[in-house]
Amino acid sequence: MNDQEKAEKIVNGMLEKDEFSRWLGIEVIEVKPGYSKLKMKIRKDMLNGFDICHGGITFSLADSALAFASNGYGNIAVALETSIAFSNKVIEGDTLTATAEEQSRNRKTAVYNVIVSNQNNEKVGIFRGTVYITKKEF
């Protein structure tokens, strides 16, 4: 099993047991060590009181992308700090894609940028996350 296959196996295992990501309807488009690309569709039960997508939904997609990109090497990584700028509104029926790209990785911590875009290629969320890399292996 090479690095790529290992990353895919880990992420598939994570998603299978991840009840909230499955409630969100997250689909894995591509995964590599240090990288992930996910997709989901915005449903009515994801909206807030202004009839637009709750910020927590966009964040959650990006946070899952962070988890899938940072865990693919084989060691369990946990999020320490995450942040998101909301740059365009998201509405029911939108299809969001989140792409997580590794910015740096040391022995103990790693940093990822995640861009969340809609079906028109407009960026709706600009996310960053720092994870702590544990010694625990999958």
CB 18 within 8 A of CB 10: no
Tokens read off for 110: 């790693």
Q: Is 120 in the site for a second copy (CB under 8 A)?
A: no
CA distance 70 to 52: 30
86 interacts with a second copy by CB under 8 A: yes
* Nearer to a second copy among residue 85 and residue 91 (C-beta): 85
**Among residues 3, 29, 80, 93, which is the contact residue for a second copy, using CB under 8 A?**
80
Buried b (16+ CB within 10 A) or exposed e, 97-130: bbbbebeebeeeebbbbbbbbbeeeeebbebbbb
104 lies in the site for a second copy, by CB under 8 A: yes
Distance of CA 134 to the CA centre of its chain: 19
95 binds a second copy (CB under 8 A): no
Residues that bind a second copy (CB under 8 A): 13-21, 23, 44-51, 54-57, 59-61, 63-64, 67, 76, 78-88, 103-104, 106, 108-109, 111, 113, 115, 122-123, 126, 128, 130, 132
